[in-house]
Amino acid sequence: MKSFSKNQLQRYPIYLKYFKSLSDEGVVDISSPKIAKELGYSEEQIRKDLQAVSDEAGRPKKGRNVHKLIETLEGFLGYRDSTTAVIIGCGHLGGALLNYPNFDEMGLSIIAGFDVDSQKIGTMMGGKEIFPLDKLSNLLPRLNAHIAIVTVPVGAAQEVVDTAIASGALAIWNFAPTHINVPSNIVIENVNLASSLAVLSHRLNATLSKEEK
């Protein structure tokens, strides 16, 4: 079994999106140099990435078939079979994710929300019912959701993660800007806006101080 680095995995959805837009334009074949030019990667890297997931070789002088690439990547990324998830914390961010239109095509099916706010409990957000947080340990096993999406305030994050894991969650998608400890057999992926902003700010400052010269 090939292994994939985090960076590499992150590139595949970007390729896929690009190939879909090419397909919409009626493009049939695409070569690595062209992908490289459009997406700003090196062509060697693209070849490596696509070789790692394709079962058939590219053709010299033509490249690869766009339609085939889309099928391959959708299969590889699991967009064809649905994974179920719940959202814990239905504030602004959780609500946005409950309404996020792109998860369906990515094979992610959010089936319920949990919150402590009695105003929200029993209502629907993005077509999904909101349950009381203290029912999480009760409902999670029955819902059979593997992924818990965590969008609670920092102070509550570790606690709800512990509960989710104790109730059978196998993966945590953490949007709270804090470090969370999980057992080694549990998968955790953090979306940390503070980290992303740190990269942006640092580069922006570099740009600004260059201009000052």
Partner DNA sequence: TAGATTGTTAATCGATTAACAATC
Question: Closest separation between CB of residue 139 and a second copy, Å?
Answer: 20
Question: Closest separation between CB of residue 35 and DNA, Å?
Answer: 8
Confirm or reject binding of residue 168 to a second copy (CB under 8 A).
no
Measured at the alpha carbon of residue 120, what is the angle toward residues 123 and 143, in degrees to the nearest 5? 65
Confirm or reject binding of residue 141 to a second copy (CB under 8 A).
no
Question: Closest separation between CB of residue 122 and a second copy, Å?
Answer: 20
Helix axis angle for 6-24 and 32-39, nearest 10°, is 100
Asked whether the beta carbons of 9 and 47 are under 8 A apart, the reply is: no
Question: Binding string to a second copy for residues 67 to 106, with x set by CB under 8 A, is what?
Answer: ----------xx----x-------xxx-xx--xx-xx--x
Asked whether the beta carbons of 113 and 87 are under 8 A apart, the reply is: yes
Residues near 130 by beta carbon (within 8 Å), at least 6 away in sequence: 90, 112, 113, 114, 115, 120, 121, 122, 123, 124
Asked whether the beta carbons of 111 and 144 are under 8 A apart, the reply is: no
List the single partner that 48 binds among a second copy, DNA, none, CB under 5 to 8 Å by kind.
DNA
List interacting residues with DNA (CB under 7 A). 3, 5, 7-8, 31-34, 41-45, 47-48, 50-51, 54, 57-64
Question: Closest separation between CB of residue 71 and a second copy, Å?
Answer: 16
Residue matched to tokens 């800007």 = 177
Asked whether the beta carbons of 151 and 93 are under 8 A apart, the reply is: yes
Total chain residues near a second copy (CB under 8 A): 60
Which of residues 25, 60, 127, 199 is near a second copy by CB under 8 A? 199
Question: Radius of gyration over alpha carbons of the chain, in Å?
Answer: 21
> Where does this chain bind a second copy (CB under 8 A)?
4, 6, 9-14, 16-18, 21, 38-40, 77-78, 83, 91-93, 95-96, 99-100, 102-103, 106-108, 146-147, 154, 170-171, 173, 177-179, 181, 185, 187, 189, 191-205, 207-208
